[in-house]
């Protein structure tokens, strides 16, 4: 079957947000990546997911149908004895809808098929009739006890990565139809009911498929207006467009999303975005299916390390990986505040004042070649003179930082000098952080004087966890190195500083981060849907989540 039927409607009536949410259940049946592309996110929808979608869809269908609908049904019947009877049914109300025998299946290379057998429906409607010169009005009750529908919904993707749907086929018929007129000259029309039932049955069968096609057109319009990217904050957005054409088997359907983060207003490709990349970003052609068939999950979701690395690159190039820490940012606040993640605990062994930081600055000695006191504008090392040309008297002096700026507050400017890198391995997530820390002395007049600039690199590992709809985890510090880049207060004792930073992070930083991580963050899900018994495992190059779904009304 071709990817799109020739008779597909070109009309795109305005869709609704509810339709766009509903359509996402069907999108998981579409798309594996074309050759040469690496999806950031890949999902597999199993047959259990179709069963979940069937039950969810039937409940939604019942809620939509059990109200008054405009029908505008018109027709006529000619009797040799009585002449021509013309009737109108302007609106209907559905009182009962029972669909006890229905299935949803994958249609290979097309989409999904809905089959309904032996459905029952009870409808009431207002009617108007004219027989010759006689006009009459009343009500009617219609019962169909053997309604069958078979419809195929095709799924594809357009050139911009948005999903497309169309009505590939539809067949609807009801054989056991009974109607009864009430009010007006209903006794007369009830005599004609057996004759009218055949005409009404043919008209209703035609109307059912027309209504289904109209619904598909509304869904298609909603998909056409669906965004292919979503802005997450003022810095970055994520491209969740689809890759490739549908490739649906009889057992499952795969969906591949680009899953790339980019700067708001500037889609700049990162070094890890284009193969060959320093880190593996591709998924195997098929997702792992080692789970027993009896415990097959509804949804398998694989998120590659490419997603995290593209996010790191986007935030890095947007300048978001920067933070200033001042001496008054100590964890003394009685309640959480926006800067809590960057506050220094009160018991942290390193406080941002020259008295504390001065222990990492060399002492000022005496005699020729000693490191001199520095004036406000800087120092000249190894000359034996300070900025005013005068040497020091005998005796040791305090460290240069404390000597020049006695017990003054300091400020630390932290930033990433390179994008962080993340790799996923079966044992843990491994991260490499490349940071810079520039220290300033804050003078009484609020002037900031540069003291020194350091490079601080760290290696961390993380073990993610998933509970319900929340993603959490724990992090461990595996290594830390400090190197001096420049200094205006003499050489910095980086080894001593490195040891103290490791101690402080192990004692305060890592436990504090884990406390926040264990609380977890909510995962984005469709409205009313939540994950049921999710499981998370680490694979080479990607994180695999397997889960069932449940709907909360």
At 344, the pLDDT band (50, 70, 90 cuts) reads: low
User: What confidence tier does 294 reach under pLDDT thresholds 50, 70, 90?
Assistant: very low
Beta pairing partners, 148: 173
Q: Which of 135-139, 229-233, 263-267, 499-503 has the lowest mean pLDDT?
A: 263-267
Residue with tokens 């000259």: 185
- Please give the pLDDT value at position 37: 54
The reported pLDDT for the residue numbered 276 is: 28
> What does the pLDDT average to over 130-136?
81
Q: Model confidence at 281, in pLDDT bands (50, 70, 90)? A: very low
Q: Is 145 left (phi over 0), alpha (psi -120 to 50) or beta?
A: alpha
Confidence label for 401 from pLDDT (cuts 50, 70 and 90): confident
Say whether pLDDT at 120 is over 70: yes
Q: Which residue has the higher pLDDT, 373 or 63?
A: 63
3-41 burial, b if ≥16 CB within 10 A, otherwise e?
Answer: eeeeebeeeeeebeeebbebbebbbbbbbbbeeeebbbb
Max avg pLDDT among 32-41, 131-140, 199-208, 324-333: 131-140
Least confident range from 67-71, 96-100, 176-180, 325-329: namely: 67-71
Give the tokens for residue 265: 């207003």
Max Cα–Cα distance, the chain, nearest Å: 134
Q: pLDDT tens for residues 13-63?
A: 333 333 333 333 333 323 333 333 578 888 888 888 888 888 877 776 667
> Is the pLDDT assigned to residue 393 strictly greater than 80?
no
- How confident is the model at residue 5, as a pLDDT? 39
488 sits in the region (left: phi over 0; alpha: psi -120 to 50; else beta) called alpha
Q: What is the per-residue pLDDT for 408?
A: 92
Each residue's pLDDT tens digit, 188-202: 778 878 877 877 777
Cβ proximity of 110 and 155 under 8 Å: yes
Give me the percent of the chain exceeding a pLDDT of 70. 74
Q: Quick one: how far is CA 428 from the chain centroid?
A: 22
| Burial group, residue 75, by CB count within 10 angstroms (0-12, 13-18, 19+) | middle
Question: 148 pLDDT band (50/70/90 cuts)?
Answer: confident
More confidently predicted of 26 and 338: 338
Residue 496's contacts (CB-CB under 8 Å, 6 or more residues apart) are 359, 360
By C-alpha distance, which of 349, 326, 327, 329 is closest to 337? 329
pLDDT exceeding 90 applies to what percent of the chain?
Answer: 24
Least confident of 195-199, 384-388, 486-490: 384-388
Cα 340 to Cα 502: distance, rounded to the nearest angstrom: 20
Average pLDDT score over residue span 137-152: 86
Average pLDDT over residues 417-435: 95
Residue 95, pLDDT above cutoff 50: yes
Name the region of 520 (left: φ>0; alpha: ψ -120 to 50; beta: rest).
left
Please give the mean pLDDT across all residues of the chain.
76
Which carries the bigger pLDDT value, residue 206 or residue 506?
A: 506
């Amino acid at each position: 079957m071709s990817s799109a039927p020739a008779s597909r409607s070109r009309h795109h009536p305005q869709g609704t947000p509810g339709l766009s949410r509903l359509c996402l259940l069907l999108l998981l049946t579409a798309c594996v990546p074309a050759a040469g592309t690496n999806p950031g996110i890949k999902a597999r929808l199993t047959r259990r997911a179709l069963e979940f979608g069937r039950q969810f869809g039937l409940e939604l269908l019942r809620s939509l149908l059990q109200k008054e609908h405009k029908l505008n049904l018109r027709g006529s019947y000619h009797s040799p004895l009585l002449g021509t009877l013309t009737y109108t049914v302007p609106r209907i109300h559905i009182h009962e809808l029972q669909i006890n025998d229905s299935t949803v299946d994958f249609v290979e290379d097309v989409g999904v098929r809905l089959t309904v057998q032996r459905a029952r429906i009870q409808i009431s409607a207002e009617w108007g009739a004219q027989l010759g010169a006689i006009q009459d009005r009343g009500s009617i009750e219609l019962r169909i006890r053997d309604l069958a529908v078979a419809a195929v919904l095709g799924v594809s993707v357009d050139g911009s990565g948005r999903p497309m749907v169309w009505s590939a086929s539809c067949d609807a018929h009801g054989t056991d139809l009974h109607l009864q007129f009430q009010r007006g000259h209903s006794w007369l029309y009830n005599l004609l009911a057996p004759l009218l039932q055949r005409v009404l049955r043919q008209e209703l069968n035609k109307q059912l498929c027309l209504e289904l096609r109209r619904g598909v057109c509304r869904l298609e319009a909603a998909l056409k207006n669906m965004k292919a990217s979503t802005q997450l904050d003022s810095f970055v957005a994520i491209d969740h467009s689809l890759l490739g054409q549908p490739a649906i088997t009889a057992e499952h359907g795969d969906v591949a999303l680009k899953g790339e983060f980019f700067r708001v207003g500037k889609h700049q490709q990162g070094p890890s975005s284009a193969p060959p990349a320093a880190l593996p970003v591709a998924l195997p052609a098929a997702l792992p299916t080692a789970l027993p068939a009896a415990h097959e999950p509804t949804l398998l979701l694989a998120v590659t390390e490419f997603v995290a690395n593209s996010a790191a690159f986007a935030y890095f190039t947007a300048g978001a990986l920067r933070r200033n820490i001042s001496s008054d940012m100590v964890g003394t606040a009685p309640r959480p505040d926006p800067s809590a993640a960057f506050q220094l605990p009160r018991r942290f062994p390193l406080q941002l004042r020259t008295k504390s930081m001065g222990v990492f600055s060399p002492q000022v000695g005496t005699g020729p070649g000693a490191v001199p006191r520095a004036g406000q504008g800087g120092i000249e090392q190894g000359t034996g003179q300070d900025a005013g040309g005068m040497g020091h008297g005998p005796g040791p002096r305090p460290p240069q930082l404390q000597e020049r700026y006695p017990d003054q507050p300091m400020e630390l400017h932290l930033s990433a000098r390179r994008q962080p890198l993340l790799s996923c391995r079966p044992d843990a997530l491994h991260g490499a952080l490349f940071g810079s820390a520039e220290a300033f002395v804050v003078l009484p007049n609020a002037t900031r004087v540069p003291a020194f600039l350091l490079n601080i690199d760290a290696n961390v590992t993380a073990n993610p966890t998933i509970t319900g709809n929340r993603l959490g985890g724990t992090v461990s510090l595996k290594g830390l190195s400090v190197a001096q880049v420049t200094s205006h207060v003499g050489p910095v004792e980086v080894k001593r500083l490195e040891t103290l930073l490791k101690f402080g992070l192990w004692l305060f930083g890592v436990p504090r981060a884990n406390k926040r991580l264990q609380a977890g963050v909510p995962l984005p899900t469709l409205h009313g849907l939540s994950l049921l018994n999710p499981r998370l495992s680490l694979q080479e190059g990607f994180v695999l989540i397997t889960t069932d779904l449940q709907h909360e009304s």
